[in-house]
Structure 1
Amino acid sequence: MATPSIRYLILPGWQGSSDDHWQSHWQRSLPNATRVEQRDWHAPRREDWVAALEEAIAAEPTPVILVAHSLGCVTVAHWAAQAPLALLRRVRGALLVAPADVERPGCPEALRDFAPIPSDLLPFPVQLVGSDNDHAASVPRLLDLARDWGAETAILSGAGHINVKSGHHRWEQGFAYLYRLQGLIEQQAKRRA
């Protein structure tokens, strides 16, 4: 699945990903995986989170696969909407898990700085994984985001926000979606060859 020429950038959502969150497990198990660290996990500012992602991508010339959860997914969309072409080309693809709909009624005030969510097509292959009972985004909204972003989509049954609270610690079955994303990346590379 992994090659030394690819870095995995882990992008947690609001409040970060605890040590027993699947993203933390993946960071420890995927070769060349690093976390995009944010200055403030509890009072996120869109400008700061996007800048941290850009710095992480720019840090090395190695191609990256983004592995984002919740607000991290929205951060990816904001970054891609304004990123320089040279850095966009370093991103081979993105696994976007349980994107948070920061435009929904009742969305926590701390997340509102990330609205509106960009609706631009993402310029790299995307696998979106959501759930039919996620408090942070309804299925119709997930499908809208997937369509806007050009993502392949999987909607899981009863998976909640796909985090520790919903029972997703190691989330080994999530690697299937990473494999699927890597298949999409290979298909795109063949079409361009």
Structure 2
Amino acid sequence: MSGQKLNTLVLPGYLGSGAGHWQTRWEALDPACTRVPMPDWDHPVRDAWCRTLDAAVAAADAPVVFAAHSLGCLTTAFWASQYASAAQLAKVAGALLVAVPDPSEAHFPQDASGFAPVPLTRLPFATMVVASSDDPYGGVPFSQTCANAWGSRWMDIGARGHINADSGLGDWDEGRSWLASLGARG
């Protein structure tokens, strides 16, 4: 897929991503970044989110990369391991999986349904898990476990909270560079 035009499917987590979030900023910077419109940001249901992601991949007219945050990461893992067809998986060049949440953590949204247990099988495309050392939704050991199981490159960016708008990342050029490298490897 290297050299081809790629579409970036933006997969926010619980409640979506607000104005200052790096995902929203990426959408404003790049017309190839498209948010996947989940059916209910306030009450996520794994089946509905995975089917929505499947439809977005099917509708893409070019190979895709995922820019996933929080529940968007879990949606990606469930979709790839339990929902996607081989033809759909072939369209995915890679995924940047940022701030993977642990469903067993106390802060995990009680309104989220079906996101446990997290599938711990190798993902069939290039991935990178990006973690923060002080993420209240998913600790370093959990994100490392996911990265190892998924066959992902793992990156700890230090104490940046949930790697969201409150983390002060701005346009997060480093994240965009990592995403581009995944697309180039696909």
- In the superposition, the TM-score normalised over structure 2's length comes to 0.92
Q: Which 5+ residue runs of structure 2 have no aligned equivalent? A: none
- Equivalent in the alignment of 1:125: 126
- Measured in 2, the distance between the counterparts of 1:28 and 1:54 equals 24
Question: Over residues 129-170 of structure 1, what are the superposed CA-to-partner deviations in whole Å (9 max), with x where a residue is unaligned?
Answer: 111110011111110000010000100111111001222332
Task: Return the alpha-carbon distance in structure 2 between the equivalents of residues 140 and 184 of structure 1.
Answer: 26
Mapping of residues 1-193 of structure 1, within 5 Å: 5-82=5-82, 83-185=84-186
AA aligned opposite 1:133? D
Q: Which amino acid aligns with 2:178?
A: Y
Cα distance change of structure 1 residues 86 and 183 upon mapping to structure 2, 3 Å threshold: closer
8 Å contact from structure 1 (residues 103, 112) kept in 2: no
Look up the equivalent residue of 1:161 and give its one-letter code. H
Specify the alignment match of 1:191 in structure 2: none
Unpaired runs of 5+ in structure 1? 186-193
One-letter code of the match for 1:89? A
Asked whether the equivalents of residues 120 and 150 of structure 2 are also in contact (C-alpha less than 8 Å), the reply is yes
Contact 1:81/1:120 (<8 A) preserved: yes
How many pairs does the alignment contain?
184
Instruction: Give the structure-1-normalised TM-score.
Output: 0.89
> Is the contact between residue 63 and residue 92 of structure 1 (CA under 8 Å) also seen in structure 2?
yes
How many angstroms apart in 2 are the aligned matches of 1:81 and 1:134? 25
Runs of 4+ in structure 1 off by over 6 angstroms are: none
Cα drift, residue 178 of structure 1: 1.9
Q: More deviation in 70-79 or 60-69?
A: 60-69
Secondary structure in structure 1 of the residue aligned to 2:102: coil
Is contact 2:6-2:64 (8 Å) kept?
Answer: yes
Percent of aligned positions that are identical: 40
Question: Over aligned residue pairs, what C-alpha RMSD do you find?
Answer: 1.7
Q: Give the whole-Å Cα distance in 2 for the aligned partners of 1:42 and 1:10.
A: 17
- Structure holding more helix per residue: 1
